[in-house]
Structure 1
């Protein structure tokens, strides 16, 4: 889950000022990096999962409550207009969205599920309360599936084959799309690109750089990529520690509670160093 937050923070300064390159400083407050709605809503889903205490029959209701409560605490995080108004509705209803918000917040489901069936169930329950369009539901499930498979030690080839068989045919490379790829907030126009950024990566940081380098909705694409990359590679300790400097006590507590329950994923190459 922290990988998605890192991707969001790293990509935040490039969302409206795209960089078509992998050469940039990763996490620096002085350059405008900050957690956005992607991080806040990812943590809201994590909090809802924790509150279920492994009885997920009411996850949808808890997800609504958690997203509204946390969203109202951070009202200036950069929400889309429709979702912003949803945050303040007394009786919020799903609104048939296929925006990429469905995919950027779902990483906790991939880390919490004991089985792939359970992980997918969690993603559906957490997604249908807003993004109940088939493309929104598919995107959330695809990202959850990739994270779960990575967690369980599946190879990149196996993950790609599953994604292409069940969800998206990814028939492009980053080099092919980088010159012309533009801002696209739809699931179908950003989730395959985020997954390809992972598939072409050689490590966690490289995956984040891949995602940001194509431009577009940089923070959200990098958040999606970061969740999968964390599950596959782990997170280097220096990047993990830097990420916490961007989070206040409220948000840090959610991360630590979630990791205490479902495990933290740290790059094994850093262990013992």
Structure 2
């Protein structure tokens, strides 16, 4: 069912953007502050700490597109192209950019892995969620699970030296790969977190803040996905957490978007996104790449 595959790919990329745009309103707020100001946020209204336009996305979606476009330019060895798109985006002076990633960009002198190591040493840590938020295109682009994993790890190590970042990205994209092949959401998650530090997130709400630390972020994402009733519920749960809500929304939205498909994303959300033309172009190219490699 190739049309179904296209619906899943488009759902994944739009899911990232919708979760990002919805959650961008409440980033850095507490649950109490979100409730006091918005009740329960369900609409893409912009504003927030970044003074977003309604439907404007942040670094989560923009860096996801950089990874996608780098893969499309050179599917066999995409690191150089991904890095070039990263730097072009950085030079556009974006409103929102994570501290670890900013530090890597400032240190970059031609070797991404070295820059990531230097940033890790300078900052004393590199366990942020910035490579997890953008890794989905590796699962969308490649049919071969080994290629998915190789590119997933590569794009993570370009900016995040901490191995927990690459590990989370690999688990995430293994789940995505299962969803693209038609597996149930809960089954895909529970299979891939078995034996990992995320195994205990099934019933209880995570006992950690919804912070930018990759382990905290991913625990919240998995908890949300295991309990959400549909796409809207997933991204709304993320947005109403506050904290790093745009990134948690983008990461949860990517998997929810694949699972429920583009058709499962409310039109009011998809149509609100300001960069629809770019998303549509990338989706069509990813679909062409994926289907050509499976022919």
TM-score, normalised by the number of residues in structure 2: 0.77
Q: Deviations over 1:97-138 (max 9, x none)?
A: 221011101111121121322211221121111113210110
The 3 A distance-change label for structure 1 pair 229 and 169 is same
Q: Deviations over 1:199-231 (max 9, x none)?
A: 111211111112223332111111110110011
d(CA) in 2 for partners of 1:102 and 1:68? 15
Partner SS for 2:160: coil
Shift of 1:259: 0.9
d(CA) in 2 for partners of 1:6 and 1:240? 6
> Gaps (5+ residues) in structure 1?
265-273
Find 2:285's aligned residue among 251, 261, 269. 261
Q: Which structure carries more relative contact order (alpha carbon 8 Å, separation 6+)?
A: 2
The 3 A distance-change label for structure 1 pair 168 and 150 is farther
Deviates more, 1:106-115 or 1:255-264: 255-264
Q: Is the contact between residue 142 and residue 167 of structure 1 (CA under 8 Å) also seen in structure 2?
A: no
The 3 A distance-change label for structure 1 pair 15 and 29 is closer
The 3 A distance-change label for structure 1 pair 166 and 60 is farther
The 3 A distance-change label for structure 1 pair 30 and 127 is closer
The 3 A distance-change label for structure 1 pair 195 and 172 is closer
Q: Number of matched residues?
A: 253
Superposed counterparts of 1:176-255, under 5 Å: 176-177=205-206, 181-235=208-262, 236=265, 238-239=267-268, 241-244=270-273, 246-247=274-275, 252-255=276-279
Q: Deviations over 1:216-262 (max 9, x none)?
A: 21111111101100110013251454243x22xxxx45422221123
The answer to whether residue 82 in structure 2 is matched with residue 70 in structure 1 is no
The answer to whether residue 63 in structure 2 is matched with residue 41 in structure 1 is yes
TM-score, normalised by the number of residues in structure 1: 0.83
Find 1:29's aligned residue among 30, 46, 50. 46
2:80 aligned partner: 61
Q: Is the contact between residue 46 and residue 254 of structure 1 (CA under 8 Å) also seen in structure 2?
A: no
d(CA) in 2 for partners of 1:193 and 1:144? 16
Q: Is the contact between residue 201 and residue 222 of structure 2 (CA under 8 Å) also seen in structure 1?
A: no
Q: Is the contact between residue 181 and residue 215 of structure 1 (CA under 8 Å) also seen in structure 2?
A: no
1:86 aligned partner: 104
Q: Is the contact between residue 12 and residue 219 of structure 1 (CA under 8 Å) also seen in structure 2?
A: yes
